[in-house]
Amino acid sequence: MTEPDATEQVELVRQRYAAAANGISAGRGTGLTSSPKDGDRFGAAHYEPDADLPGRAVAASLGCGNPVEVADLRPGETVLDLGSGGGLDVLLSARRVGPTGTAIGLDMTAEMLGLARGHATEAAATNVEFLAGRIEDIPLPDDSVDVVISNCVIALSVDKAAVFAEIARVLRPGGRIGITDILTDADRAQRAGKVECLAGALTQADYRSLLIAAGFADVEIHPAHTAGDQLLSAIVRAVKPVVRQRDPGFQVVPMATAHGPEVLAIYQAGLDDGDASFETSAPAWGVWNASHLAEHRFVAVDREGCVLGWVAASPVSSRCVYAGVVEHSVYVAPSARGRGVGLALLRALIDSTETAGVWTIQSGVFPENTASLALHERAGFRQIGVRERIGSHHGRWRDVVTIERRSPM
């Protein structure tokens, strides 16, 4: 059986949500939740009871969070809801932005648009508008909205890079996003189906990479609650800079075997500096590969594909009680230092470990390696203490600063 192409996937999604809208109109419910647990994961469970809202608008909610709370909307703002469905988040946004603001809903499903417009009339909301269109091609001018929200919809898109590019286009400089969406781990991403809201989801690292590639700054991604097998609902915030950020000239990608020679060369260059590790020579690739986890390893590569730095993790113990604790290493080529490579690598590591449920990332750093200590502090690590004279290195006894980052989950 062949998988549907992009056009077929879009049509399948449209059909599912048209059927959901028709089910709400007929009083049957959406028909899209299949497990008793779904009632706690999706829909009305994320909203406070509100007698002033149309009951069908609440019943039609299929999201995995409450983006209106995430976005911190203010009076007078123009807010755009991508994949607005039955219109619940648009109506709530309209209240927040007040009569001087505007709440716009965008949906590709005629049945959902009809449902949402009826809910707006029932709620006597006058500062709302509903548009027909796809989130990959938003029918609004450049720099026309202050805030973009979305609720478990971007995971459905067949071209997420286009979605983020369109969001960046329609946001005014300084505008922001407040999104709730579904994240997955790398294994699930490879085997996911194409249509469910719980499939086609990005990993946390990929989500961040696409937002940064679209020009967003201050990207924050925080897992919120379990949404299914190897799936998480997440809160996503980011800002469109007033002045577009300079292209860093590199991207962070998963490490592959082909990167091995450059990874080891960068490792050796770090060891040669004398303040990176007790080790003095890089091992063969097979030894290095066997001592590091297959997950949570990334490289930063430039436009020509040359490796600029790497990050990887190792288990600290085979005991199950330490399953969520890893020790990491991060190295940047001498020619690439000062370009933000190390911080980008650490953020990729953090995103990957957060999605996998790792609760502690730890390492040891020589106190003389002040650049590494400062880098880790920027990435959210803290210093636990100093182990004095822990080992001999190049003929002198060295202290080691123990650092760690604990997951907020």
Domains and CATH numbers, the chain: 6-239 (3.40.50.150), 250-406 (3.40.630.30)
Residues in the chain: 409
Q: How far apart are CA 290 and CA 389, in angstroms?
A: 29
DSSP states of 13-31: HHHHHHHHHHHHHTTS--S
Q: Over the stretch 262-283, which tens digit does the pLDDT of each residue have? A: 999 999 999 999 989 999 999 9
Q: What is the pLDDT along the chain (409 residues), one digit of tens a residue?
A: 455 666 777 778 777 766 766 666 666 655 455 554 544 555 555 566 565 666 566 655 666 777 888 888 999 999 999 988 888 889 999 999 999 999 999 998 888 888 889 888 988 999 999 999 999 999 999 999 999 999 988 988 888 999 999 999 999 999 999 998 988 875 544 444 433 444 578 888 889 888 988 888 888 898 877 766 667 888 899 999 886 666 788 989 899 999 999 999 999 999 999 989 999 999 999 999 999 999 899 999 998 999 999 999 999 988 888 889 999 999 999 999 988 999 999 999 998 888 788 999 999 999 999 999 999 999 999 999 999 999 998 889 999 999 999 987 6
- What are the C-alpha distances in Å from 193 to residues 9, 17, 180, 202, 395? 10, 17, 20, 12, 57
Q: How far apart are CA 384 and CA 358, in angstroms?
A: 18
Q: Can you name the residues that pair with 315 across neighbouring β-strands? A: 326
What helix, strand, coil percent values describe the chain, rounded to 5? 35, 30, 35
